[in-house]
Every structure is written in structure tokens, then in C-alpha cells.
Amino acid sequence: MSDYSAPLADIRFVLDNVVDLAGLTELAPYAELDPATILGVLEENARFVEQVIAPLNQVGDTQHSQWDAGAVRTPDGFPDAYKRYVEGGWGGVPFPEVYGGGGFPWLVGIVLQEILTSANLSFSLAPLLTQGAIDMLLHHGSEEQQERYLPKMVTGEWSGTMNLTEPQAGSEVGALTTKAVPADDGTWRISGQKIFITYGEHDMADNIIHLVLARVPDAPPGTKGISCFIVPKFLLTDDGSLGARNAAECVSIEHKMGIHASPTCVMSYDGAVGYLIGEANQGMRYMFTMMNNARLSVGLQGLGLGERAYQRAVAYAHERRQGRAPGAAPGEQSLIVDLPDVRRMLLTMRALNEAMRALLYLNAECLDLANHHPDEAVRTQRAELADLLTPISKGWSTDMGVEVTSLAIQVFGGMGFIEETGVAQYYRDARIAPIYEGTNGIQAMDLVGRKLPLRGGGVITDFLAGIEATAAEVSKGGDAFGPIGPRLTEAHRTFAEATQWLMANGLADPTNALAGATPYLRMAGIVTGGWLLARSALAARARLDEGGGDRELLEQKIVTARFYCDQLLPQAAGLLPAITAGPADLNAAVL
């Protein structure tokens, strides 16, 4: 039986009140959808994932994937569960119908991803990497490549990988040396070694479509000389069926701290047949077009694990008796859920999860509107906001995933440190998300170096104005919102000051901006979370005043927002000195 239950009521609240699901279904590509149909799909998916995928989470952690002479065996139950995932059509939900997808908004795909990630992060990585590869082919593949590969990738019968990393080329992708030489027939021969390739080999899909970054002869150095190739595990015959085995081999898999069931492969390409995507030397530009989607999905892993950890911690706190809660009868052992410090931990977890969900769904909605809104001005504005939010979604949410899963261990006490309970797994699994898909240090540099200067600083200025407007609105709401208004007003001031300092001093000397980037990203996350929970509180109050909805849920929304804004949001101000200190002490330290 599963110990995870998809938080559909909270998901629905965010879809209706923080973003506008109904509005999305009015866009031309989604005209045949309506919110009720979408919610029905979410419910069906939740049932499947809770019953079939979630129970395999701990099995995967203890069994690990196993390498055997080039083949990789995933843990018991994984191939069968994947088959059922494919039969259900779940991987194709947000992709175009012409390739067999469901034609749903990306936002809906993101909700499905949250549920799958909570259930089983290791399992979810196979569809996630496939989705990244689909995205690349949809944007940059030729028509012929799309027709040959996409239908089976959209169903999930074939999975996908992304091959960037090499031993000397991690964050610095431009240092990669894998080679591509042209063959007489218009194809290419790929040779080199890639490391850390997620699901580079496995036994769940019939074929694996590797997307490999490599250098063609005479390519310029660095990122300007990278090209992207399709390298299938099995080559396709003319009629599209599986043909000869390609010279792409998994030579070993890594032993890791977490996500044990996800095979992290060393891949060797030895003159493998490859097909160029788009033009040579444009690979990095192509990677950038899919980066927002991929980074949002990794940000979601912080939420997914945080949610599951929270559910387990609350359940445990309702079972475990220890100590005496204020007001309890002498000699009676209280449930730990009644102890103030445990309540603080649980509410911190819940508040961070809800803030992450609001941020990530807003980011996903921006991607849909940027692609499909009929008004060009709205498309531009939403694309800019998605650009700004993406490093915050990835960096802050994955850092919070680590914090929330760590708090779950603390709620469990010693039993949290004992592997048997399964809580330690969430923490171990969460630890990879701040590292891959661009480390959080790289996200912070992206935020200050690329995103603050967008439209000459206009994008961040508009964003700050939105926070200020919400602070003013909630301040007018009186006692119902308690400290939300003044705290958000103060946080906005601090965020604006930090932003102005970085823009002024970062321009004068970029090292100033680089030195303060990580605390700035954290401040941006904390304040954005407070802003969105304040908006949630306003929406909940309005629903309560209308007399509609689930009263307890709506009242709890306001409680959570009050707690976050009063007790977590003030942490933002404490980051200001680190953001504005500059590099002097960092440089002076002997390390």
C-alpha cells in the first residue's frame, strides 16, 4: 500500500487561484479542454501513481539498478510499472496530438510530474529525460527526424537521454571533446565518453534515443563549437522498425548517495552512427531553448520530495507519543504533533511546500501563455517572467527540498535516521537536485548575470512592482491577514534594495554580483514565496466571503500564509549583508 496521497485539493486551489487554469483552456490549442476534464485526468493519474509507482520507491532504493556486462537491470517491478505507465499514455499528456500526445497545457504536465516525482523520483527520471529529448526534437529536429522518432518517444515506448557531461566538462559544457566526423552517406560517426548519463541504459523501453553533444571537425572552441546528434541505441530500418545495435555502450553505472534506482551511466561512443540535429555548431543555442522546461522540472523535484516527506512526518507526529504538551494531564505522554516545536517544523514544511507549488505552477503557466496567448504583448511579458522565474524555481525549490526533507528526519527523531522508515531516502534523493541541470551556483549567476539585466532591468522592476501591489492590497485587508501586509512590505523593500545594489555595483565590477549571487537567489525565492502565499490568502479570503469552497482548506491557506510571512519571510532581510558585501573577504580568505 502507498503512503503517498496526491494533494489534489491543494493542487486545485493553486490551479484556480494562483494561476488561471480556466483561462488557459480558452486558448486556441486547448479549446477542446475544460477544467473539469483536466481535474478528472489528474484524479485518474493520482490513483495510478499512488497504487503502482509509489510502492516501488523503497524497493528501488534498496535494490538499486544493476549493471551486468553492458546491460542494466532496473529494480523489481520497474519494467512492469513502466509498461503500465506507457499503456496509460501518461508521458504524452502535454505533447502535440499529431505525435500521439494528449495536447494538454504544459502546466498540466507539470502537475503530473509533481505527482510522479513525489511517488518515486528515480522512476520519474526516465520520463523526464525522455521529455527533454522530445522537447529538443520538437523545436529543432527536421520533419523526417520528428516523424521517425517522436511517436514512439511520446508514448514512452522509446526513452530519451541527454548526453552533455564528460569528466573534464561539467558546469563548463564548452570543454567537451566528444568528436563527430561526417560519413559518406550524410550521417556522422560519434566517438567519446560521457559520464553521469541518467537512464543511459536500462530494461524498461525498447529503444533509447540518446541526444549527444559533440564537436565536428574544425569547430570553434568552447560553447560556440558544440553540435547536437541523435544517437539511437538501435538504429532504425527504412520502415522505422528496430535494426542493428549502434556502437553506444554503457560501460558502468555509478554508486550514489540517492536515487539508487535511476541508473547513472558512463557511456562510451565508439564510432556510433549519429544524425545531426539542425545545423552544426548550434547545439548550445538549441539547449538553451529547452532549458526553461528542464530546469522547471528539476525545481519540481524539491517540491515533490518535500510533499512526500511532509505527508510522512505529519502521519508520524500523529502516532508517536513523547513528552508532555502544554496543558496535558500529568503523567500522560502527548502525541508529538501537540508539541510546539514539532508543530513549528511541520508548519515550516507545509508553508515551504505551498510556496514552492505556487511558484512552480506560475512558472509553468508563463510558459504556456508565452507560447500560445493570442496577444503578442502578453506572450512577451510571460516569456520574460518565465525567464526571470526559472533560476529561482530551480535553485530555491531544490534547496528547499533538501531543507524540508531534512526537517522530516528531525520530526521522526532517531527513527528518521534509521533507513527502515524510508524517510532518510527522501533526503538522500533530494540532495542531487541542487547539483544537476546546472548547479544552484550556476542558477544564481544566471539570475544576477542574465536575468536582472533583461529589458534593461525592466523585467525585475515590473516583478518588484507586482509584489509591492500585493503588499498594499493585503495591508488594506485588516486583521484577517495579521502580519502579512507589513512583513511583505518590508520584504519588498529589502528585495528592491538588494536588486538595486547588484545592478549598480555588478555593472561596475561583475565580481560584486557573482559574490552575492547565491544569497540573492535565496532572497528572491523567500520573497517570491511570501508574495504568492499572500496572493493565496487574498484569494482564500475572497472565497470565504463568497461562502463557497472547503472552509477548512481556505482558512488553513490564510494560517499558512500568515505563518510564512511572519516567521519565514523576515529571513530575507538577514541576507542583505551577504548580498552587498562584495568579494573582499572571499578574496582575503586563505583556503
Ligand X SMILES: Cc1cc2nc3c(=O)[nH]c(=O)nc-3n(C[C@H](O)[C@H](O)[C@H](O)COP(=O)(O)OP(=O)(O)OC[C@H]3O[C@@H](n4cnc5c(N)ncnc54)[C@H](O)[C@@H]3O)c2cc1C
Residues forming the active site: 437
Closest separation in Å from C-beta 471 to ligand X: 33
**Is residue 305 at the binding interface for ligand X, with CB under 6 A as the rule?**
no
Q: Is residue 171 a contact residue for ligand X (CB under 6 A)?
A: yes
Q: How far is the CB of 591 from ligand X (least distance, A)?
A: 13
CB of 180 to ligand X, least distance (A): 16
How many Cα atoms sit within 13 Å of 468 on the Cβ side? 10
Distance CA 201, CA 588 (A): 46
Could you give the CA distance from residue 442 to residue 252 in angstroms, rounded to a whole number? 28
C-alpha cell at 188: 556522422
Binding of residue 196 to ligand X (CB under 6 A):
yes
Nearer residue to ligand X within complex by CB, 109 or 434: 434
Query: What is the nearest approach in angstroms of ligand X to the Cβ of residue 543?
Result: 42
Q: Which stretch binds ligand X (CB under 6 A): 96-104, 134-142, 164-172, 184-192?
A: 164-172
Q: Closest CB to ligand X among 442 and 533? A: 442
107 versus 291: smaller Cβ distance to ligand X: 291
Give 583's DSSP letter.
S
Shortest approach of ligand X to residue 577 CB, angstroms? Answer: 21
Q: How far apart are CA 465 and CA 461, in angstroms?
A: 6
Question: Which burial class, exposed, middle or buried, applies to 577 when counting CB atoms under 10 A from its CB (0-12, 13-18, 19+)?
Answer: exposed
Query: Which range binds ligand X by CB under 6 A, 137-145, 408-416, 440-448, 454-462?
Result: 440-448
Query: From the list 180, 336, 339, 432, which residue makes contact with ligand X (rule: CB under 6 A)?
Result: 432
Of 74, 117, 159, 163, the one binding ligand X by CB under 6 A: 163
Reported residue count of the chain is 591
Q: Is residue 412 close enough to count as binding ligand X by CB under 6 A?
A: no
For residue 129, the minimal CB distance to ligand X (Å) is 6
Give residue number: closest CB to ligand X: 170
* Site map 262..301 versus ligand X, x via CB under 6 A: --x-------------------------------------
Q: Which is nearer to ligand X, 108 or 442 (CB)?
A: 442
Distance between CA 520 and CA 577 in Å, rounded?
10
Closest residue by Cα to residue 229 from 200, 196, 191: 191
- Give the dihedral of Cα atoms 318, 324, 329, 330; nearest 10 deg: 140
Q: Is 21 in the site for ligand X (CB under 6 A)?
A: no
Question: What is the DSSP track for 436-503?
Answer: SSS-HHHHHHHIIIIITTGGGGHHHHHHHHHHHHHHHHHHTTGGGGTTHHHHHHHHHHHHHHHHHHHH
Of 198, 334, 390, 518, the residue at the interface with ligand X (CB under 6 A) is 198
Q: Does 425 bind ligand X (CB under 6 A)?
A: no
Q: Which helix (H) or strand (E) holds 271?
A: strand 264-276
Burial class (CB in 10 A: 0-12, 13-18, 19+), 83: middle
- What is the secondary structure of 50-114 as a DSSP string? IIIIGGGHHHHHHH--EEETTEEEPPTTHHHHHHHHHHTTGGGTTS-GGGT-----HHHHHHHHH
The 3-state secondary structure of 285-325 reads HHHHHHHHHHHHHHHHHHHHHHHHHHHHHHHHHCCCECCCC
Closest residue by Cα to residue 391 from 332, 424, 439: 439
Which of 183, 161, 165 lies closest to 175 in space, CA to CA?
A: 165
Footprint (CB under 6 A) of ligand X, residues 505-564 = none
* Binding segment (CB under 6 A) for ligand X, from list 157-165, 423-431, 472-480, 528-536: 157-165
Cβ–Cβ under 8 Å, residues 138 and 150: yes
146: contact with ligand X by CB under 6 A: no
Our CB check for ligand X shows the closer of 110 and 211 to be 211
- Taking the complex as a whole, the smallest distance from the CB of residue 432 to ligand X amounts, in Å, to 5
Which residue, 121 or 498, is less far from ligand X as judged by CB? 121
Nearer to ligand X among residue 256 and residue 372 (C-beta): 256
Residue with cell 511520446: 154
For residue 140, the cross-strand partners are none
Minimum distance from residue 551 beta carbon to ligand X (Å): 44
Closer to ligand X by Cβ: residue 198 or 246: 198
Segment near ligand X (CB under 6 A), from 36-44, 314-322, 433-441, 527-535? 433-441
Contact 572, 513 (CB under 8 A): no
| Whole-number Å distance between alpha carbons of 202 and 193 | 18
Residue of the chain from 55, 89, 170, 582 that contacts ligand X (CB under 6 A)? 170
Contact segment (CB under 6 A) with ligand X among 90-98, 191-199, 329-337, 404-412 equals 191-199
- Residue among 365 and 429 whose Cβ is closer to ligand X: 429
Candidate ranges 39-47, 193-201, 367-375, 380-388; the one touching ligand X (CB under 6 A): 193-201
Per CB under 6 A, 336 contacts ligand X: no
* Assigned C-alpha cell, 365: 503557466
State in angstroms the smallest separation of the CB of 230 from ligand X. Answer: 15
Pick between residue 267 and residue 527 the one whose CB is nearest to ligand X: 267
CB of residue 117 vs ligand X: minimum separation in angstroms?
Answer: 15
439 binds ligand X (CB under 6 A): yes
Instruction: Give contact residues for ligand X (rule: CB under 6 A).
Output: 162-165, 170-171, 196-198, 256, 264, 432, 435-436, 439, 441-442, 445
